[in-house]
Amino acid sequence: MASDFTLEELQSATRNHGMPLEGLAYATTPPGMHYVLTHFDIPRVDPGTWRLEVDGRVARSLCLSLEDLRARPRVTQPVTLECAGNGRARLEPRPHSQPWLDEAVGTGEWTGTPLGPLLQQAGLLDDAKEVLFSGLDRGEQGEIVQWYQRALSAADSLRPEVLLADEMNGAPLPPQHGFPLRLIVPGWYGMAQVKWLHRITVLDEPFWGYQQNVFYRIAQDDDDPGVQLTRIYPRALMVPPGMPVFETRERLLSPGPLTLHGRAWSGWGAIARVDVSTDAGEHWHQSELEPPSAPHAWQAWSWTWEAEEGRHELLCRATDAAGNVQPLWPRWNLKGVANNAVQRLAVRVRHEPEA
């Protein structure tokens, strides 16, 4: 694996952060441990003057304050979010962007009002095709100065699970998670979860935008139209067992029985099985899998290993109800997205010296 990360990649990595994998122990990720990826700066928004505008191909434009939104029907749902770039740093040659390894994930309890009834109140006109969501974050990417913008089809926007969330884990959104309002599209990669949302525009034609048509797609080269990213491909991750070596993050464990555990998720359906290997993939063992606690939240799995002295490589691999299976090795693409290759954890089992 390449090890020539650039200063530009490091600048991203010290701003953005993953969920330390011991965070997999929590069904609901504490906010400061949840992954964060911001394309531009984190805006500081005055909630008193902030408004949500709804316009475009609607019968009635709306302009809503935070109080207006909070007076609407409220729903709370746990949703697992994952950055589409998770795993990018393991590709060779490496697409240069935020260099995630495995940790760009988290599960929040998101509270807000469903989007669909609000769009129905505005009244989608017959020619409504897509709904565009605009954030207050702005900058240059791909040589284009832009506000962060993403669109959904009108049909996807009206799905009952799509939320306008103003709370995370029972508190107002932290600034880095989109205060005062973000879109939550359960099951989709993070690029759809527009933060610092301030405008919803109904369009009568497909949106063309950098974050929609250029960056977040699976393509082999610039001429390949590729496939726009939507839902999250399955992934299982393991709580790193034992204790870490600071410098290498290798794990040190004592011999004997040890319950390996973690979580798994997919945007294409429930997880059907998680398999574990302790010999770099030669043999696989089906783990015990908990049923989903909610339609769009990760599921816990566990499997007990009889750890023997020596060095081992631990793997875990999820299969979802739609039949998607994690690949054993990364599949390259131009932007380094949707690399859901299995996690590989180096562990050293030994009789542990006293500290």
Residues 144-203 touching a copy of itself, rule: CB under 8 A, are 145-147, 174-177
Q: Which stretch binds a copy of itself (CB under 8 A): 60-68, 97-105, 259-267, 294-302?
A: 97-105
Q: Which stretch binds a copy of itself (CB under 8 A): 18-26, 110-118, 122-130, 306-314?
A: 18-26
Contact 234, 268 (CB under 8 A): yes
Quickly count: other Cβ atoms within 10 Å of residue 82's Cβ.
27
Between CA 281 and CA 275 the distance in angstroms is 10
Q: Which stretch binds a copy of itself (CB under 8 A): 34-42, 107-115, 287-295, 296-304?
A: 34-42
DSSP 8-state class, residue 88: G
Prior bond of 93 cis (ω within 30°): yes
Residue 287 makes contact with a copy of itself by CB under 8 A: no
Residue 223 makes contact with a copy of itself by CB under 8 A: no
Of residues 27, 62, 75, 101, which one binds a copy of itself by CB under 8 A?
101
Between CA 132 and CA 149 the distance in angstroms is 7
User: Any residues with CB less than 8 A from the CB of 341 and at least 6 apart, and which?
Assistant: 87, 90, 326, 327, 328, 329, 330, 331
Q: Which stretch binds a copy of itself (CB under 8 A): 61-69, 139-147, 268-276, 325-333?
A: 139-147
Q: How far is the CB of 343 from a copy of itself (least distance, A)?
A: 13
Q: How far is the CB of 77 from a copy of itself (least distance, A)?
A: 21
Residue 16 makes contact with a copy of itself by CB under 8 A: yes
- Type of residue found at 319: T
Return the closest-CA partner of residue 289 out of 281, 280, 298.
298
Return the closest-CA partner of residue 52 out of 170, 209, 176, 180.
180
Q: How far is the CB of 168 from a copy of itself (least distance, A)?
A: 10
Residues 289-348 touching a copy of itself, rule: CB under 8 A, are none
User: Any residues with CB less than 8 A from the CB of 297 and at least 6 apart, and which?
Assistant: 27, 77, 78, 79, 80, 107, 265
Q: How far is the CB of 146 from a copy of itself (least distance, A)?
A: 5
Residue 47 makes contact with a copy of itself by CB under 8 A: no
Contact 233, 268 (CB under 8 A): yes
Of residues 27, 62, 252, 346, which one binds a copy of itself by CB under 8 A?
252
Contact 199, 183 (CB under 8 A): no
Residues 65-94 touching a copy of itself, rule: CB under 8 A, are 89
Residue 27 makes contact with a copy of itself by CB under 8 A: no
Query: Which residues are at the interface with a copy of itself (CB under 8 A)?
Result: 1-18, 20, 22-23, 25-26, 30-34, 36, 38-42, 44, 89, 96-97, 99-101, 103, 138-142, 145-147, 174-177, 240, 243-249, 252, 352-353, 355
